Every structure is written in C-alpha cells, then in structure tokens.
Amino acid sequence: MSVNSAAALEIESTAELSVASRLCAALADFWSLTKPEVNFLILIATFAGFYLGFPGDLHHFPLQRLIHTLLGTLMVASGAGTLNQYVERSLDARMRRTARRPLAAGRLYPGAALWFGILLSIVGAAYIFSAVNALASLLAVLTLASYLFLYTPLKRRTPICTFIGAVPGAMPPLIGWAAASGSISSKAWILYAVLFLWQFPHFMSIAWIYREDYDRAGYLILPNNGGGAKFVAWLIVAPSLALLMVSLTAVAIDSGNTFQYFATVILGSALCYYGARLVLLRTRIAARQLLRASIIYLPLELLTLLLARP
C-alpha cells in the first residue's frame, strides 16, 4: 500500500469517527431535551396511579396496557420538557444551572427542537388515545397545555406560578388511574393531592438553591420585595404537614397495616424535619438536603401506598 493510500484511509477513518461522534453528541442532546430525570419520577407516579386504579384481580393485571400507558406518558412528558426548553432557551442561557442545556448553549437548532417536541407530544397523546383510552389521553393533553401555556409564562410574572405549576405536575397518577379504570375516583384525587403537596417543598428547595439564577433570568419564583424567606417558609411547612396528613389518609382508606402507617409517619416526619431546617437555617446546604429528601420521599411513599392494595 502506498503512503498516499494509507493517508487517505486514515483521513476517511477520522472523518467517519467525527461523523459518528457528532451523531452521538446530537442524540445525547435530544435525549437531554426530554428531561429524563424528571420523567423518571413522572413514570413512577403514573405507575402508582395505574396499579392502584386497576379495579380487577391482580392475577389479571393488564401489563400490556400499563406498558402502553407508560410509553405514551413518557412521550408526552418528553415533548413537554422539550417544548419548555425551546420556549425558555434565551432565559436558560442567562442561568448557570441551565446555560449548558443544548438549546441555551447553541448545540441544537431551535427549529429542530421545536418539531421534535411537537412530534413527541402529538404522537404520545395519539398513542394513549388509541392504545389505552380517551380519558387518559385527554388528561395528558391538559397536563401538557397547562404546563406550557399557564405555568411556563407565569414564571416571569408572579410567584403564584408555583401553585399553578403544581396542578399539571400532580397529573401523572390521574393519567395512570384513568388508563387502568377508565374513570377517576375519590381515591385517585387523594393520590393527586399527595403529588400536589409534595411539589412545594421540592420546588422551594430548588428555588432557594438557585434564587440568584432565577433573578438573573427574570423569573419570579420568589417574591422580589424581600419576602422570599417568609414565602419559602409558608410553602414548605404548611404543605409538608398537609402532605403527612393526606398520606396517612391514603393509607387509612385502603385499610393499611401497621408497617404502612409507620413508614408514612417516618417519611413524612423526615421531610418536615428537613423542611424546618431550611426555614431556620436558610442555607444552600439545608436546601440541598431538603431536595434530596424530597426525591427520596416520593418513590418510597408511593411504594408504601402500593403495598396497601390487597
């Protein structure tokens, strides 16, 4: 083989590696757009709603319908996450926490992300409609719409956006319940209340950690009149205590055993403890501890509720 041929092969091999590396990087960026860390909790909550909402004997549990539900919900949630990053790309670029996101950093074309998000959302909703039922699909669409068209724009207008955002944020169990039973019962709304209340200590810990970032981007997650600490205190303590009460109610309705009561009290008390630490200390360390506690709390509490099913 001549020197020129060897050099040509080396250049061709390098070019192929370069194309492959760019493709892998692009796929990783599109994956990042979907917010997989958020989707993990969404799928856990959807599964909990489906499992608890299934009215039949567990020996005839509809595993295929569950898979359809989780897959469709994942697509809609991924579409919502992608479209949220598309809308907020210029604001994300101002914050250290989000500046390296694919759109904020300029690694992806906004138009590509827009169509990716639209496609995921439409296909996901249509998939749930055809493979599961219309009610679950409707709830998924309402979740997407309220997240994008209410919560997202309100983040720059009022701190009350946290309340608005908690409404679609607590919908996954209802989607799962509707997918399993074709309706929504009072028990489903109790599960919804658990997710609704959980979001306040969770999001307030994030808001405290990144408060300067949010201010830099113009988000009104916290009041800009100096009342941020009091606002955070109210949105941590009251919902955390209410969450403990609602979780105990959820266990009681299904005639839970001693272990389930004990686990719920321990988990709820731990969340209240870390919430009180943040309220008293007002430090990033305390906020990070509350954030970790909230992430641990949710799947464990949902597991506790799942065990209440006979």
Which CA distances in Å does 270 have to 57, 194, 218, 273? Answer: 35, 16, 33, 5
How far is Cα 256 from Cα 262, in angstroms, rounded to an integer? 10
Q: Confirm whether 156 is domain-assigned.
A: yes
**Is the same domain home to 196 and 104?**
no
What's the domain range around 247?
185-310
**Is the same domain home to 294 and 209?**
yes
Give the tens place of pLDDT for each residue, 15-39: 555 667 788 888 999 999 999 999 9
Q: What is the pLDDT of residue 57?
A: 83
**Is the same domain home to 137 and 200?**
no
Q: Confirm whether 75 is domain-assigned.
A: yes
Domain boundary among 179, 210, 227: 179
**Is the same domain home to 295 and 238?**
yes
CB atoms within 10 A of CB 232: 25
Q: Confirm whether 294 is domain-assigned.
A: yes
**Is the same domain home to 45 and 144?**
yes
Q: Confirm whether 174 is domain-assigned.
A: yes
Q: Confirm whether 6 is domain-assigned.
A: no
CA-closest candidate to residue 218, choices 161, 287, 285: 161
Percent of the chain whose predicted confidence (pLDDT) is above 90: 74
8 pLDDT more than 70: no
Q: What is the pLDDT of residue 230?
A: 87
**Is the same domain home to 271 and 201?**
yes
Domain boundary among 179, 199, 225: 179
Q: What is the pLDDT of residue 2?
A: 54
Q: What is the pLDDT of residue 26?
A: 87
293 pLDDT more than 80: yes
**Is the same domain home to 137 and 229?**
no
CA-closest candidate to residue 259, choices 195, 197, 305: 305
The one-letter code for the residue type at 297 is Y
Q: What is the pLDDT of residue 300?
A: 96
Backbone angles phi, psi at 282, to 5 degrees: 55, 50
Give the tens place of pLDDT for each residue, 227-265: 678 888 999 999 999 999 999 999 988 777 888 999 999
**Is the same domain home to 137 and 235?**
no
**Is the same domain home to 231 and 272?**
yes
CATH code of the domain containing 94: 1.10.357.140
Q: Confirm whether 210 is domain-assigned.
A: yes
Give the tens place of pLDDT for each residue, 116-160: 999 999 999 999 999 999 999 999 999 999 999 999 999 989 889
Instruction: Count the domains in the chain.
Output: 2
Q: Confirm whether 7 is domain-assigned.
A: no
Supply 56's token pair.
């039949």
Q: What is the pLDDT of residue 217?
A: 85
Q: Worst-scoring range by mean pLDDT, 39-53, 212-226, 279-293?
A: 212-226
**Is the same domain home to 31 and 166?**
yes
**Is the same domain home to 175 and 192?**
no
Q: Confirm whether 17 is domain-assigned.
A: yes
**Is the same domain home to 107 and 250?**
no
Domain boundary among 163, 179, 195: 179
73 pLDDT more than 90: yes
